[in-house]
Structure 1
């Protein structure tokens, strides 16, 4: 659990919080804890305000924060999307007069809790206002966790809810949810609800209950092909067709995965670690982990040859040459011949 959550639950509040990061689970759980511990149910409507800074000027937010609470002891003011603190371009036409915000940061009121939520990797550190905010605020890091951190999040949730879950089941949950904390925790909630009586979650439970995204099905399809499990690969492919997924879209995702395998293969040859590869390619480390495992079954030449064939198939499909579903089916049959012998 994040250290600041424990303080919030002990009602040890900071006057200003800055939540930085793109992980929705951490952002939403922090907000939930603040609401539950700061506000009484009956005065939430009076003492809680939520603003989008792409639509509301920061001085309006500060005015709200300086308003004395109605019927309760404290007010909770949440303001999201502070684009004026980032390098990101925005279509918002709102002009923020930040002088009043600076004054508030230097001397916040004692009856309001102000929460600034920035769903970005980092703020613009060159700005004087950014430096002041980071100095005065209590920072909650909402970055996406790495493998080890994600495993700890899952294990902590299991322990706190008095469940047991074997390590292979945890690993499979991480794999099927693509290393995404928010998705993993949502699926874990579903698993715990399903196994409420026994309170034990197995690999079989994860396999049968966790919803696979289209991308995850593509990963699994390639795993089946690499293992020469033709019937397993075709079963996944036919399931995707039954779900009304277009063959051209499936082909595009397969091509995207092979492109990733090719890049991973090349960068690993150059001595880059998986973490460095993820940073260089700007993809989730979990995708690189799965991709590195899959890439071992192909040479660099075989991967580039497969990419060329996929490009030809894409052209053929888009120009109406042959039956789309059947052409991709034959590709799956032939992929085993591309493996390293």
Structure 2
């Protein structure tokens, strides 16, 4: 991936690119680099076209690619949602004459760069057209990285920009951004700007500068409760209230996290690995890893009992019974007491 970006920066373009995957950061960054590398400011209006293949026939895209550039050296054509390469069902009634594309793939013109973006995990490898385009195109993998891949990715981006960031800082950045590459990259851009002179990013920089999402604050709140740090948990809770977060929304996220812990606990008891749990629950593997760590502090029956209490609180909040903020406060205290009893 990084090597292909470097080639684009050097203006070493491939005639055809195929981007496969669902990680928006990689997709958008590749598009941005291609636009900057292929087109000048004056070319964008005349030599750039962006198509949605759910709405545009492929033969029109090919025709656009075969059109000679106007006041420029190259044309850049981007075509998204090539359903004819996948097994995905689409509501679009667009019919594509893919034989026209097959002919173009065999002999692409020199003056156009044609980019296909398949926002899916994989293509339909059984199709003749899929095999042909994968053979002819430069493939950009835009899959969502697992934790190990994300560590390498962040280190590579740091090195590419001539910054140093050790493993502990990288791990903390991943943790605070919930393993979401787009969020992590946005925060890394901010960190690099802040440390532009020193060009070294430390764990302390990440602690002080990275913005925690509401979901991350909920995770940290539960971590505080498990560690018997009620003052720390309440401090996070009060900060959320100061930020005008609604108690009922906070409750919903706490319930969502406990529901995840319950599911992880159950599936682990059935012998599933963390990777299998992530696939089964359709959640990020990093979130499962952190959830599994929290779930170890609870028995399965404790988690189901907590979920019942949270469901009752949700009902009371929605029916106007009692003070909403105070209800959550008492829940945190009661959970703290439960943790203390288990430690005895």
Which TM-score applies when normalising by structure 1?
A: 0.93
The one-character-per-residue Cα deviations of 1:60-79 (angstroms, maximum 9, x if unpaired) are 21111010112333211111
What residue is the counterpart of 2:73 in the other structure?
73
Q: Relative to 1, partners in 2 of residues 1:138 and 1:164: Cα closer, same or farther, differing over 3 Å?
A: closer
Report whether the alignment pairs 1:48 with 2:42: no
Instruction: Tell me by how many angstroms 1:45 deviates.
Output: 2.9
What residue is the counterpart of 2:142 in the other structure?
142
What residue is the counterpart of 1:100 in the other structure?
100
Distance 1:227 1:219 in 2: 12
Instruction: Tell me by how many angstroms 1:324 deviates.
Output: 1.3
Which runs of 5 or more structure 2 residues have no equivalent in the other structure? none
What residue is the counterpart of 2:307 in the other structure?
307
Distance 2:44 2:9 in 1: 17
Instruction: Tell me by how many angstroms 1:93 deviates.
Output: 4.7
What residue is the counterpart of 1:199 in the other structure?
199
Distance 2:196 2:190 in 1: 10
Distance 1:204 1:91 in 2: 49
The one-character-per-residue Cα deviations of 1:123-143 (angstroms, maximum 9, x if unpaired) are 334444333332332211000
Give runs of aligned pairs for residues 1-341 of structure 1, distance below 5 A.
1-339=1-339, 340-341=342-343
Distance 2:166 2:3 in 1: 26
SS in 2 for 1:54: coil
Distance 2:124 2:251 in 1: 39
| Superposed CA RMSD | 2.0
SS in 1 for 2:43: helix
Distance 1:134 1:167 in 2: 35
Distance 2:91 2:321 in 1: 42
Task: List 4+ stretches of structure 1 deviating above 6 A.
Answer: none
Instruction: Tell me by how many angstroms 1:26 deviates.
Output: 1.4
SS in 2 for 1:88: coil
Instruction: Tell me by how many angstroms 1:295 deviates.
Output: 0.8
The one-character-per-residue Cα deviations of 1:297-326 (angstroms, maximum 9, x if unpaired) are 111111111111111111221222211111
Distance 1:31 1:233 in 2: 42
SS in 2 for 1:265: helix
Q: Relative to 1, partners in 2 of residues 1:87 and 1:325: Cα closer, same or farther, differing over 3 Å?
A: farther
Distance 2:89 2:271 in 1: 35
Distance 2:203 2:148 in 1: 19
The one-character-per-residue Cα deviations of 1:138-167 (angstroms, maximum 9, x if unpaired) are 211000111111111211222232323333
Deviates more, 1:225-234 or 1:236-245: 236-245
Q: Relative to 1, partners in 2 of residues 1:132 and 1:166: Cα closer, same or farther, differing over 3 Å?
A: closer
Instruction: Tell me by how many angstroms 1:10 deviates.
Output: 4.2
